[in-house]
Amino acid sequence: MPASTSVETIRDWIGLSFVHGAGPALFYHLINRFGSPTEVLNAPGSVAKEIRGLRTGYLAELSDAGRLRRRAERELSALDKIGARALIRDQSDYPELLKHIGQPPPVIYVRGRRALLNMTSVAIVGSRAATSYGRRVSRTIARDLAWSGLCVVSGLALGIDAEAHAGALDAEGATIGVLGCGLDVVYPRANQHLFERLKEFGLLISEYPLSTPPEGYRFPARNRIIAGLSRAVVVVEAAQRSGSLITVQYGLEEGRDIFAVPGQIDSLKSAGTHWLVQQGASLAVSAVDIVEQLTIEPGCRTPQIKDCNDSRPTLKPELEELWSMIEPYPQFREALLQRSGLPPEQFNEALLVLELEGLIETVPGDRVRKLTDGSR
């Protein structure tokens, strides 16, 4: 904590944020008028006189500054016990990009590698009910961004978010998970293992105090932090009315670069990403497209995207020819057999070799598809 920021100052920022209904807009209106959260808590009578239209309940809470401060002190103590801390907007280690969005969180709670806040970051968002294609692409792009020295930001949700975090961790890179609940609440429960990995190797961020439950209305607000931390927002897979488009809207409002990853043209899961491209979003088919468009600031590593095909095993000519016929979308084995011209026994043996090498996978309906990055 910088010497210029006292524990009492942080406590009062947290205390004022605890007042029910004190969202960022009202919070900043009050401190702009009275100078600081400390001044607001010290003079609730002046607040009532000079700020018209405040709810009675809000004023009642504000008038009990002692209770708010004690609660804030308990919060700081609980954060310390789990190795987390609170950052207020006026601290030097509060993320610079986030500090300048329209309504930055007055307080953010962080747990993990705080140095990640200083990195150039890219957000990856998309569908919770992602397709296998979407999950694979999200993981691959995140991995390659991490290899380039960029930090991957997402929301720790199922589907695209989870794969983005996992991809960055695969590369032993940097990733930040932004929560719509307290730092001690695992949501969804299915991501318990991923939550633990981010806590140790990445960073968890929330604007909500410990033990805050995950409620639906918190997640759109969470999305502004995802966009606010990032230089760019990448949408991998999203339906026409996907919540990921809320993150895009926040990104546009803050001048972030927007990228969309294409999917199959008849997939409803990609209708939102295709619409974004039609509206002018940049097309991204790999991490290279994203890195090349970003202006990397001094101090960041020069992007070095690894070629995914470098690690692909050398194939015999007949296997290479068959592999070149297989598309990333599911194809019927029978149609592929006829196209290959191979005897059935040799064809089945070749498919088995390709699958064991991690180059294709079998999908329901007696179909196969190519794994474009050469890995599952």
User: How high is the pLDDT of residue 312?
Assistant: 56
CA distances from 150 to 128, 230, 297 (A): 23, 10, 11
Residue 72 has pLDDT above 80, yes or no: yes
**How far is Cα 354 from Cα 320, in angstroms, rounded to an integer?**
9
Q: What is the three-class DSSP state of 270?
A: helix
Q: What is the tens place of the pLDDT at every residue in 208-221?
A: 999 999 998 899 99
Q: Are 175 and 166 in contact (CB under 8 A)?
A: no
Return the amino acid letter for 8: E
User: How high is the pLDDT of residue 372?
Assistant: 54
Task: Report angle CA 270, 151, 289 to the nearest 5 degrees.
Answer: 50
User: How high is the pLDDT of residue 96?
Assistant: 95
| Segment 92-99 mean pLDDT | 95
| Segment 125-131 mean pLDDT | 94
Torsion of CA 89, 94, 95, 100, to 10 degrees: 20
Q: What is the tens place of the pLDDT at every residue in 156-193?
A: 999 999 999 999 999 999 999 999 999 999 999 999 99
In terms of pLDDT, which residue wins out, 284 or 326?
A: 284
CA distances from 307 to 125, 133, 316, 345, 375 (A): 23, 19, 21, 33, 13
**How far is Cα 367 from Cα 90, in angstroms, rounded to an integer?**
57
| HSE-up (13 A, CA, CB side) for residue 254 | 28
In terms of pLDDT, which residue wins out, 300 or 325?
A: 325
User: How high is the pLDDT of residue 299?
Assistant: 39
| Segment 235-253 mean pLDDT | 92
| Segment 103-113 mean pLDDT | 97
Residue 110 has pLDDT above 90, yes or no: yes
- Kindly report the length of the chain: 376
Confidence of residue 52 (pLDDT cuts 50, 70, 90): low
Q: Are 206 and 214 in contact (CB under 8 A)?
A: no
The neighbouring-strand residues paired with 331 are 368
> Does the bond joining 2 to the residue before it have cis omega, within 30 degrees of 0?
no
For the beta carbon of residue 24, count every other beta carbon within 10 angstroms: 18
Q: What is the tens place of the pLDDT at every residue in 286-318?
A: 999 999 888 654 334 444 434 434 445 678 888
- The pair of three-digit structure tokens given for residue 209, joined into one six-digit string: 């105090």
Q: What's this model's pTM, rounded to 2 decimal places?
A: 0.79
Comparing CA positions, the residue from 16, 3, 20, 35 lying closest to residue 75 is 16
Q: What is the three-class DSSP state of 269?
A: helix
CA distances from 200 to 109, 148, 174 (A): 16, 21, 11
